[in-house]
Amino acid sequence: MEASPSFKLGSLKKSPQHFEAADRVKEWTRERFDLAEDAAILVTELTCTVPGCPPLETVVAFWSDHKTRHDFKIFRPIEAIVLDDLPPAWLKGSLISDDEDGINCSCC
């Protein structure tokens, strides 16, 4: 029997406000970490199924060059995120991900 995944992507039907909020988080990330206009930034809202995990969280991943991926989580739905929820710019180096398969951590 296959184990169920710890995270599930949200509903495929999203409101215009959801997409506007995701665009806003992308722009804030670009500005906060001084990323180039063509830098890839991904913003995804996930539903967590692990006990004790927040019901919804937002994962942000970005590339500072073609090889260096950075990522962080915000324990809020995309539409509830405010600018102060993003990590400070000086943490950029600590957000580098060495996980080639995705965003994983020992906590979930």
User: Is the residue at 104 inside a domain?
Assistant: no
Q: Flag whether 102 is in a domain.
A: no
Specify the range with the lowest mean pLDDT, choosing from 5-14, 50-59, 94-103: 5-14
For residue 7, being part of any structural domain is answered with no
Give the count of domains, the chain.
1
5 belongs to a structural domain: no
Q: What percent of the chain stands above pLDDT 90?
A: 61
**pLDDT tens digits for 40-85?**
999 999 988 888 888 899 999 999 887 899 999 999 999 999 999 9
Instruction: List the domain range (segments joined by +) for residue 69.
Output: 17-95
Strand order in the sheet with 7-9: 7-9, 41-48, 56-63, 69-74
